[in-house]
Amino acid sequence: MVDPKEYLERGLFFHGHRCPAMPMGLRLGAALMNALGVSRAKDGQLVALVELGDDHCATCFADGVQMITGCTFGKGNIKKLHYGKWGVTLIDKASKRAVRGVPKAEAMLANKQTPFFKDYREKGIPASEVPPEVVDPLVEKVMNAPEEMLFTVGEVFNYDWEDPPHSFRSFVCDLCGEMVVEEYGRVRDEKRICIPCQEKVVKGAF
Ligand SMILES: [Zn+2]
Ligand SMILES: [Zn+2]
């Protein structure tokens, strides 16, 4: 069993500030891992599909998911689905099984009604500048609430995930001299170039 409390300090360090969303990600990540009976992905054993979009509230949530599941931006085994929702599907590639969990609307609405959001975040105050006496009780609440108060976790289902092919091929851009993955290369006037150089050529900057 994965215990989200064991990841709180490291999660806070990685994330950078105290807020309720990152701990929600820790808790949901742990719930999904325990439903599948898996441990943290050292490589790409697990894949997390997060339904978040960009530039909206509580995207901090994804840092908790990354911290606890080991599905990270760097390893490429976390994908954003851009639905503007907070559901997460965790896939175990070895057993070809997956499970989806989602924070309960009531739990998220309750968070939004707290001084952390009303008096600070909605007024544009960065989370790192919210006094500890305002944010700490929220973090404690998320870390200690019973799972069924926070999330809905669905049934485990079959999911045969296939990794897209992994490219090891690269070349040096003829214009900027920087390395480029072959699949991202462009050809212009017999030259092999990168995307930013192509954009400059189009704008007439070269
Ligand atoms: Zn945060
Ligand atoms: Zn270039």
Same domain, 86 and 183: no
Same domain, 190 and 137: no
Q: Is residue 152 part of a domain?
A: yes
Q: Is residue 16 part of a domain?
A: yes
In this predicted structure, what is the pLDDT of residue 165? 85
Ligand 1 centroid from CA 37, angstroms:
27
Same domain, 58 and 138: yes
Distance CA 47, CA 103 (A): 19
CATH number, position 63 = 3.30.1330.130
Which one of the ligands is nearest to 194 CA?
2
Distance CA 37, CA 30 (A): 10
Nearest in space to 21 (alpha carbons), one of 100, 72, 86, 89: 86
100 by DSSP, 3-state: which? strand
60-114 pLDDT, tens digit per residue, is: 999 999 999 999 999 999 999 999 999 999 999 999 999 999 999 999 888 888 8
Burial 126-160 (b: 16+ CB within 10 A, else e): ebeebeeeebeebbebbeebeeeebbebeebeebe
Ligand 2 centroid from CA 185, angstroms:
9
User: What is the CA angle 81-53-41, rounded to 5?
Assistant: 55
Residue 72 lies in domain: 4-158
- Segments of the chain with pLDDT less than 50: none
Domain count of the chain? 2
Same domain, 140 and 96: yes
Q: Is residue 41 part of a domain?
A: yes
Same domain, 150 and 53: yes
Which one of the ligands is nearest to 188 CA?
2
Ligand 1 centroid from CA 133, angstroms:
16
Ligand 2 centroid from CA 192, angstroms:
9
Which one of the ligands is nearest to 61 CA?
1
In this predicted structure, what is the pLDDT of residue 28? 97
Ligand 2 centroid from CA 195, angstroms:
7
Distance CA 84, CA 62 (A): 12
Same domain, 34 and 122: yes
Which one of the ligands is nearest to 130 CA?
1
CA distances (Å), origin 16, targets 5, 22, 30, 63, 126: 17, 10, 20, 10, 11
Ligand 1 centroid from CA 180, angstroms:
33
In this predicted structure, what is the pLDDT of residue 101? 98
Distance CA 115, CA 134 (A): 7
